[in-house]
Amino acid sequence: MMLQKWNPEKRCYEPYSVPGEWNIPLLCDSESEIINCAQCGKRIAYGQSYTSRQVHTLYGLGYGVCGDCNKRELEEERRNRG
Among 78, 62, 66, which residue's Cα sits nearest to residue 13?
62
Give 20-65 pLDDT, tens digit per residue: 999 999 999 999 999 999 999 999 999 999 999 999 999 999 999 9
Does residue 47 sit in helix, strand or coil? helix
Give 54-79 pLDDT, tens digit per residue: 999 999 999 999 999 999 999 998 98
Residue 12 has phi, psi (to 5 degrees) of -155, 165
Cα–Cα distance, 5 to 69 (Å, whole number): 13
Which runs of consecutive H residues, i.e. helices, occur in the chain? 67-79
Q: Check: pTM over 0.95? Answer yes or no.
A: no
pLDDT at residue 30, rounded to an integer:
96
Q: What is the amino acid identity at position 57?
A: T
Whole-number CA gyration radius for the chain: 12
